[in-house]
Amino acid sequence: MNSRLAALAVSMLAALGATAIAQGTSPAPTIVRTVNRTHTVVQENGRPIVRLDAKEGDGFSIVQGPPFAEGTIELMVRGEDVAQQSFVGVAWNVQNDSTYEAVYLRPFNFRTPDTARAKRAVQYVSQPAWPWPKLRAETPGKYEKPVRPIPDPSGWVPLRLVVTRTQVSVYANGGADPDLVVQRLGDVLAGPVALWVGNNSRGDFAELKVTPSTSMPR
């Protein structure tokens, strides 16, 4: 193959790769370790999906990548419309199996007619010192909010987190404005990102994109 043909082949492969990513067929993240769950990678409509099974207690799969301190985390998540059995989201600042920050959705609260529950569709926690019961009891309505526009409880939901040294802004279901803006709790450290599910929950994850910023906590 002459140099011109070789260059053309490389260009075509690059274009195909860019098209695949644009169409949502980016490769599944490499799982480094899974805690209190079993993960599998399945194909759905040509897209690789990481699936975590349901067990008692919280669980997560740490993904391969450099330590994350600040920046953006984007992914697609899918839970179920099953009351108290669908908590699905993403964790970061993972220091050990029980110490991390996380944002997660409660899909069963998306379309509930119960106005109190509808306000608890997206949640921030900082484990183990600030779990959701403590945050709800001490600062009701501050660390959990509704999601607008209202997602399909059984469908894919785009989730985007903008993480700074002091704050987390959460955009869910493609909304232009953040659904949740909170001050970070606990030690602000660099650590892995993980796909996260809550007690008795399973979850599906796709199209994870982690973009660190250049600044680091001091």
Q: Convert the pLDDT of each residue in 122-180 to its tens digit.
A: 999 999 999 999 999 999 999 999 999 999 999 999 999 999 999 999 999 999 999 99
Q: How many CB atoms lie within 10 A of CB 161?
A: 25
Q: How does residue 27 score in pLDDT terms, banded at 50, 70 and 90?
A: confident
CATH number of 26-212: 2.60.120.560
Stated pTM of the model: 0.86
Collapsing DSSP states into helix, strand and coil, what is residue 156?
Answer: strand
Q: Distance between CA atoms of 20 and 4, rounded to whole angstroms? A: 25
pLDDT in tens, 43-96: 999 999 999 999 999 999 999 999 999 999 999 999 999 999 999 999 999 999
Please check whether residue 41 is in contact with residue 127, taking contact to mean a CB–CB distance below 8 angstroms. Answer: no
Q: Which long-range contacts (CB under 8 A, 24 or more apart) does 116-119 make?
A: 118/146, 119/144, 119/145, 119/146
> Has residue 215 got a pLDDT over 80?
no
Starting at the edge strand found earlier in the chain, the sheet holding 47-52 runs: 39-44, 47-52, 203-212, 71-78, 156-163, 167-172, 180-183
